[in-house]
Every structure is written in C-alpha cells, then in structure tokens.
C-alpha cells in the first residue's frame, strides 16, 4: 500500500510541476516575464537574498540547534536550491505580480543549476554533485513545459486561452493530492523529528527567509518574500537521492510540507494586505 501511495505522490509531483509550468506559459508572454527582470537592483537583491543570506541562515540554524548530521545536511542543501515551481501559485494567492514571479523563478532556477554544485561541497565538505543531473531534471520538468506554453501562447493565442484553465485545474488537483499524500507518507518521519529541533529549525528557516525577502523586496515585497522562502525541493531531492541517506530525503519532504503549511496562510495574509492598496488606487 505504501508503494502505491509513493507512486501516486511521484505522479502528483510530475503533474503539478509540468502542469503548472505549462499553464503559466499559456497565460503569459516572454515580454511579461522579462520586463520585471530589467530592474537590475531587484535582480541583485533577489540573488543576494537567495544565494547568500538564506544559506548563511541555514548554516547558523544548524549550529544553533546542534542538528543531527542528516538534518543539518537537509537544511543546508535546501538553502542552496532556489526557483521553486510552486512560487507562482503562492504569488497568485498573495495577489502579487505573477509575471515577475515566473521571471524570478526561472532566474533563480538557472542560477541554482550553476550555484548548487559549486557551493554545497564548501558548506558540507566532501560532497560530489553532478551539475548535469540537477540541470536535466529542472530543464525537462520546468523549462521545457514553460517554453512550450509560451510558444503556443505566442502563435495560437485563442487555443492557449481555451486549454489553459484545464491545465491550471490539473495542477491544483495534483497539489492537493501531493499535500495529502505527503502528510500520510511522512507522518512517522515527522513524529520522529519531535524533540530533535528539526521541525522548529525548519519553521524558523522558512519564516526568516520570508522576512529577508520581504524586507529586500521594495515594490514587490510579496514576490521576493515568497520567492526567498519557497525553496526548490525538486533540485534538492535530486542531489539528496544521489549523495545522501534516506533520512536526508525524509527531512527534505518534511521541510516541503512545513513550507506549504507556513507559506500558504502567509500568502493569504499578504493578499489581504494588497486589497486595501488596490481599492485605494
């Protein structure tokens, strides 16, 4: 039974990531994605937040709570992986700039492919990471579906508008399924973490990352805040599966669930803050 649920969870990940990327491509244009990234200051702040401040935060939390080896590795690994496919969905809930969130996601994802294999061995020591293994999964699951959607939107706009809601709905259902299955499959792992400070460190890590991005976000506080807090679990799992124990993978899944539990309500609160501003305008 567990194997069946695990297979369903893997299928849900594929449907959510590929479906959400394709749906975003069908609803946006390249101009909408690229234009927000012309703000050099914002791009620099996003890179500093995600690839300097967040890894430092994870490293300090691991020291502060004296985390076990597998928990320390999982937290630091996740801190080096940015550009999560779930970001546009969070920004949509927060009523933020979705086009900017897609542009930011793609930027962070590309930098992660280069950054993670170089920095992770420095933070953990004696870790060998294959850059192509990381790049391959991200390109196939995220960049290609996004590019195909953008192409259809550019060439066949009417068709794109008709099929986009279907893929959007499919990704939403897959996300709900993944959340439920994740809780079921990792419940024992979450219970085992009680008393290890692993869950507390994860919650603080996500909330502090949200605050870091929000403070640096300028006019797009919600986008950069959520973009900094929502890490790329897909990239982290690829590296963990090739280099570390099952305990590291389990902790990453627990952190992913914690992220959903913490960030969805946070995005909703940010969305409520946007409503008075929009009404005033």
Domain ranges, ordered by start, for the chain: 2-272
- Residue 230 per-residue DSSP state: S
Predicted local distance difference test score (pLDDT) of residue 1: 67
- Cα separation, 181 vs 188, whole angstroms: 13
- Cα separation, 261 vs 97, whole angstroms: 22
Predicted local distance difference test score (pLDDT) of residue 23: 87
- Residue 157 per-residue DSSP state: H
What is the number of H-type helices and E-type strands within the chain? 15, 0
Tokens 């490293």, residue located: 59
Q: At what angle do helices 69-79 and 98-124 cross, to 10 degrees?
A: 140
- Cα separation, 75 vs 96, whole angstroms: 28
Q: 103: which 2 tokens?
A: 């542009």
In order of 56, 98, 223, the CA distances from 271 in angstroms are 29, 13, 11
Q: Which residues contact 277 (CB under 8 A, 6 or more apart)?
A: none
Cα torsion through 261, 112, 110, 153, rounded to 10: -10
Reported as type and span, the H/E element at residue 12 is helix 2-27
Predicted local distance difference test score (pLDDT) of residue 280: 40
Query: CA quadruple 103, 250, 67, 266: dihedral positive or negative?
Result: positive
- Its CATH class, for the domain covering 2-272, is mainly alpha
3 state SS of 130: coil
Q: At what angle do helices 54-64 and 69-79 cross, to 10 degrees?
A: 170
- pLDDT < 70 stretches in the chain: 1, 126-129, 274-281
Global pTM value? 0.80
């Amino acid at each position: 039974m567990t194997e069946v649920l695990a297979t369903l969870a893997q299928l849900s990940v594929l449907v959510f990531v590929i479906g959400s990327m394709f749906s975003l491509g069908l609803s946006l244009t390249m101009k909408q994605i690229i234009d927000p990234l012309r703000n050099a200051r914002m791009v620099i702040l996003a890179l500093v937040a995600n690839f300097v401040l967040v890894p430092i935060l994870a490293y300090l939390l691991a020291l502060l709570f004296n985390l076990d080896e597998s928990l320390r590795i999982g937290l630091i690994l996740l801190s080096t992986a940015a550009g999560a496919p779930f970001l546009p969905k969070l920004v949509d809930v927060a009523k933020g700039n979705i086009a900017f969130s897609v542009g930011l996601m793609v930027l962070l994802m590309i930098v992660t492919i280069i950054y993670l294999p170089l920095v992770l061995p420095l933070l953990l020591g004696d870790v060998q990471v294959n850059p192509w293994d990381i790049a391959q999964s991200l390109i196939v699951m995220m960049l290609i579906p996004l590019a195909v959607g953008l192409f259809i939107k550019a060439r066949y706009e009417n068709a794109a508008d008709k099929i986009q809601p279907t893929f959007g709905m499919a990704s939403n259902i897959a996300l709900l399924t993944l959340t439920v299955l994740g809780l079921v499959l990792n419940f024992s792992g979450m219970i085992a973490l009680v008393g290890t400070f692993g869950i507390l460190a994860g919650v603080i890590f996500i909330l502090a990352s949200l605050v870091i991005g929000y403070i640096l976000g300028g006019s797009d506080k919600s986008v950069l805040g959520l973009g900094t807090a929502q890490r790329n679990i897909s990239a982290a799992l690829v590296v963990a599966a090739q280099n570390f124990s099952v305990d590291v993978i389990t902790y990453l899944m627990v952190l992913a669930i914690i992220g959903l539990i913490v960030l969805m309500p946070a995005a909703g609160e940010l969305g409520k803050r946007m409503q008075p501003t929009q009404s005033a305008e």
